Amino acid sequence: MLKLLAVVGPTATGKSDLAVDIAEKLNGEIISCDSMQIYKGLDIGSGKLKLEDRKGILHHMLDIADIGENYSVAQFAEAAKQLIEEINSRGKLPILAGGTGLYYQAVVDNYEFFSLEKRKDIRHKWEKIISDKGLNDVYAELLKIDPDYASKISANDKKRIVRALEVYELTGKPFSEQQKKTALNYDLTVIGLNVERQELYDRINRRVDRMLERGLLDEVLFLMEQGYDFENNAMHALGYKQILYYYKGLSSYEETVAAIKKETRNYAKRQLTWFKKDKRIQWVNVDSKDDRESIFRKFYWIWEGHENKTCRES
């Protein structure tokens, strides 16, 4: 059975650093599990580790798509599963590290994504209903026909709401049933990093400040000069969207910084809610006293237990 280690959890908990330490000490390679780090040019705001911080460890699934592309979770899952096989074949440990819950779950639960031809007439119909009645009414309709999927997305996520209704109308089945799961293919260990809420919020605020100091404003301005704007899904990433508003004169600098911090805190809460549903995750609580070595020791206690259990069962 193929080995796989996953390191997940909310943003700003130290997942990337822990993954590097694990890869160094357990002969591993890292597969980024972040829906924004796949894009070239989204560097500072997506939290990509600088080259020197990667310590020579191979990092996969970074900078694989242009911002103009709409890279899908299905594409990610297919590529990541192939990488897991390849890394295992080299006698190394694949480490899936990141905070995009759907990307993680698509890999570890081996989702088989249902492909569906786009039907513009149906999509236009729902968009007209939204225009006439409002998005809340349409989301309420989705809650009736597919409460499982509706509970996983935001009531303001127009794109996913319309897509789910489109699938239902074309197939007669809820969208949640179209994303079938098959039996787990991996000898899997999942580590979740968590931090006490107030400290997590403090970490997020400091992280946003560091990103701005590193040049996030210039990064977004450069992308705008290349012609990227709101029509590109990647530019709706945290930080990038708010700074686009700033450059368009729709918010002040102070309002922009506050919005980035608030939206990132809200995102961290959603991440934690998503991952807490997965009972396979073994949580490591991190506090301000923990350095990288102590966090690794907390992880290794779990890893050693898993390895001993695997040996007994084989």
Q: How far apart are CA 19 and CA 47, in angstroms?
A: 14
Please state the rounded mean pLDDT for residues 105-131.
80
Structure-token pair, residue 201:
């919020």
Rounded to whole angstroms, how far apart are CA atoms 121 and 2? 44
| Beta-strand pair 93-97/2-8 | parallel
Question: pLDDT tier at 117 (50, 70, 90 boundaries)?
Answer: low
The secondary element (H helix, E strand) that includes residue 225 is helix 216-225
Q: Is the pLDDT of residue 130 over 80?
A: yes
Among candidate residues 182, 208, 197, 204, the one with its CA nearest the CA of residue 273: 197
The reported pLDDT for the residue numbered 121 is 81
**In this predicted model, what pLDDT tens digit does every residue of 252-303 receive, in sequence order?**
999 999 999 999 999 999 999 999 999 999 999 999 889 999 999 999 999 9
Is residue 183 scored above 60 in pLDDT? Answer: no
Q: ∠ at Cα 84 (72, 269), nearest 5°?
A: 55
- Rounded to the nearest integer, the mean pLDDT of the chain is 93
Say how far apart CA 100 and CA 10 lie, in whole Å: 9
CA distance 187 to 118: 37
Tokens of 183: 């039996």
What number is the average pLDDT over the span 102-121?
A: 78
Q: List, for residues 20-77, the tens digit of each pLDDT value.
A: 999 999 999 999 999 999 999 999 999 999 999 999 999 999 999 999 998 999 899 9
CA torsion sign for 93, 275, 293, 38 is positive
Output the six-digit token pair for 190: 């999942």
Task: Tokens for 232, please give them.
Answer: 């590109």
Q: What percent of the chain has pLDDT over 70?
A: 94
d(CA 269, CA 107): 22
**pLDDT-based confidence at 140, cuts 50/70/90?**
very high
Q: Which residues pair with 300 in a beta bridge?
A: none
Task: Sheet with 281-286: list strands edge to edge.
Answer: 59-60, 28-32, 93-97, 2-8, 186-195, 281-286
Domains of the chain: 2-112+181-313 (3.40.50.300), 120-178 (1.10.20.140)
pLDDT of residue 116: 53
Q: Which residues contact residue 57 at a Cβ distance below 8 angstroms, ignoring those fewer than 6 apart?
A: 20, 23, 24, 28, 29, 30
Phi (first) and psi of residue 60, to 5 degrees: -105, 160
- Alpha helices per DSSP H over 72-196: 73-89, 101-108, 120-133, 135-145, 147-150, 158-171, 175-178
Burial of 118 (0-12, 13-18, 19+ CB in 10 A): exposed
